[in-house]
Amino acid sequence: MVSKKLETAINKQVNAELWSAYLYLSMSAHFAHEGLPGFANWFKVQFHEEQDHAQKLMNYLIAKGNKVELMPIERVDTSWKSTLHAFEDTLKHERVVTSLINELVGLSRGENDFATENILQWFVNEQVEEEETAQSMLDSLKLIGNNGFGIYTMDKELGQRVYTPLDISATTA
pLDDT in tens, 121-164: 999 999 999 999 999 999 999 999 999 999 999 999 999 999 99
CATH number at residue 91: 1.20.1260.10
Q: What is the pTM of this model?
A: 0.94
On whether residue 108 sits in a domain, the answer given is yes
On whether residue 172 sits in a domain, the answer given is no
Question: What's the structural domain count of the chain?
Answer: 1
Q: Give the tens place of pLDDT for each residue, 33-87.
A: 999 999 999 999 999 999 999 999 999 999 999 999 999 999 999 999 999 999 9
On whether residue 15 sits in a domain, the answer given is yes
On whether residue 171 sits in a domain, the answer given is no
Cβ proximity of 28 and 145 under 8 Å = no
On whether residue 49 sits in a domain, the answer given is yes
On whether residue 164 sits in a domain, the answer given is no
What's the confidence (pLDDT) of residue 170?
63
On whether residue 140 sits in a domain, the answer given is yes
Closest residue by Cα to residue 173 from 105, 104, 120: 120
Tell me which residue range forms the domain holding 53: 4-158
On whether residue 165 sits in a domain, the answer given is no
Q: Give the tens place of pLDDT for each residue, 17-35.
A: 999 999 999 999 999 999 9
